[in-house]
Structure 1
């Protein structure tokens, strides 16, 4: 494999410094990746150089490359257009691929005396009325749900008229979301009128429905049909309530797509919110595999997504930078026939929309990985805050605990996918010095941990696995003290400190030369606080355990003939001082390495002391 990589690198070094498209093929000749480059020689040769800076996704792809070919273009823009066309044609395994879903969706209104309104994926010759087609299944579902609630139509599986009068109405009736024809107190004509109004609502929208219903209500009131007028008034109120709820996702920018990326361990999710007329009209979710660098992933996603979409809004709002953004703007502008801008908002309404979109992406990803949306969002937010390429899935945190330099210990806790991994927790006794030196203790602990990695890295488990992030309980002084240890090891692991305020609460993240405020990043702040509290609890718990053990051991070493080794053997055998005190001579002799004189001395120590206390 190394020989093949060497040959491919030599071939890549002979490429021209011109823009173009490159196609990677596996041993069967299948195209597995297509990319573009401003300078082919620089870009392609990177793949076959050192793997040190390659993402896992790139390493897997390179391991399968048998050969490559290239196509020269006159400009980087032409390379982008050609790349889009070739990816659509060949669908390479290692490119981000999106399904070009040409399917349509319909709203179905069944026939008969008691019609039902529902969603449908295709037309059928069943006598029902079909409204549509619609491109988005999400918009169809939203519209049907709203119509059923506003006009209080049933959404259950009961059949009418067969099930009328059978059983009590369901919860929807009691919360005023269904007129409950199953009670048998509703005329078919009244039900049909509600269905007709719901269909008008679906065809014309809420504004037209409000106008027609208001006219009906006023006419009913003039005719003294007050009960009928009240029923229409309730429907108008329901539409108004629904419109108020829609304003929550109504924005000042009339037409835009909001796009956000959430990443997990080996998987990612991209969420697209589509706003038209200032309101959210559609959303799409794309679950992807390992996409690697988020900046590159966003750029590649935009290429794929708008290659299979005809409608391109004048504004694309992203949750972070996209690779080749100016080039993509030029391509999208040409494709749309008008100016298209790509923006990354930092504050205000647009930043809030991006965060909402990102939270939804994290929630969708969490459902696939078994995590909660909060955990996925916290890791994603923490990774962005610290400037990491990907969210840290495997985090190690360290804390030192001692009392005036005595019983010097450290604790290490591990969080995997935002949750404590207690099987990976480790404890350390500080061995290289005595006294209080938190920086020295932290250096020793990290050195020992990295040493264990080099001994066990082939296993890929426990100490044989490197963390995505190391957090130290302490400020920039701790980070500066430990940084040289990492540099000497040749390992590139992100290292930060967790800073506490004077009330021992998490305040900020420390880095070389400064701090990063995290109070405004709620999800990341909560996660870091939990990690800091957990590592402190674990370290101080070990410290107390050691103090107790050393106190008990010193009680035994006060007995003539009992040194540290014998005291340790006694505690290992009997577990407690009380058990040693209650042991007879023969039981004491059962301790490994115990002599009769020593056993007699121990027995007499406890029993003579007890006798003296009793006589006193």
Structure 2
């Protein structure tokens, strides 16, 4: 993998803020459009608002754009002094060649980087490059706090909650975390500070030295600023763990209340610990798919989600598609297929009385004594077998809100799968028009890129790497996709989906 990775960022807002800075200050393109550097295209809005240097339009050379990318990498690694130094050199060079507009742009960019650097907390001029790691535990739960120090400044911090560590000592938890974190970390600092030592620390140092390419020290400070930083990290870890446990307790209580409220409202024989919700998606009766999502104890269990390509239904018939989906799900349970063995305490279908009756017919035919209900979109009414009128619950009813979460998640999951299949179908149709792309090459391209959006972003080299493709055919596919992009302001709006 030749890519460079930065992070991890556990706070999405920190990611968005960093991306805004990169666009505003460094003018790195936000898109992943593939272009060959020869056939230039018209720059988009990001160039006109000053957030992209438009390499696709040839407004900067490959060398200039590479320099921009290196400045971003230095900035993300916390080496702001290197960035300012390079910007100052480029500004002086631009002024010397009387490129005053470029010199002014570099001056403003340099000032922005310096302002960002000043906002970072200065810890000590003696602490150049450290990661500080500390751990807090409570009743089988654990939290690790990390501080990232670069050029003597605290440039970031993250915390991580550990799972499945109930039977491990603090030393074992710390050792496993350090090994796992740095095996995937994009950058290794010169020094790693820990609250306590563990066996085989010298092996850890050797591993980190190999990854960094130079000496790395892993140790436990006993006095001074470094020890105080480790203690501060430990305090933060304890606070974060306490907050997390409080949130989990509140969430568990709310989930129990919602399940109890739903049991009472639907007059279920037991608490619905496991609920399965089904939804049908299609576009005017084509590409019909069924979606099954699972909630256990009020929370989604994505490992049990399942998708069904509808095989026996032709045209727009959601009732028949629902029956096929449920039939195949129950058949899989009888065959004890992995992920299908456990039957739900409640089945929820996305739809009203008609959809409910269609699903109930399958349950009766298969002899499945599973409670079932339907949730209609329009008025959020719940339909139950044997009742002529729907059940209407208040908008703040916990049981109704749980059903709505299930219904919305099933709809999202089904629509995502349907759009993927529709994209593959669209890609197949587009490739029919490319000279030199026969059935075998079309299948190979579809396996590699999956949909039209992925292929439209691929370079000639990426297309040519597909089995059976020649350079000439790859260039034909590339330019065919470029021509399509140039002729469309956007992809056409799809027909309404159900």
Q: TM-score, normalised by structure 1?
A: 0.35
Larger radius of gyration: 1
- The structure with the greater share of residues assigned to strand is 1
Q: TM-score, normalised by structure 2?
A: 0.43
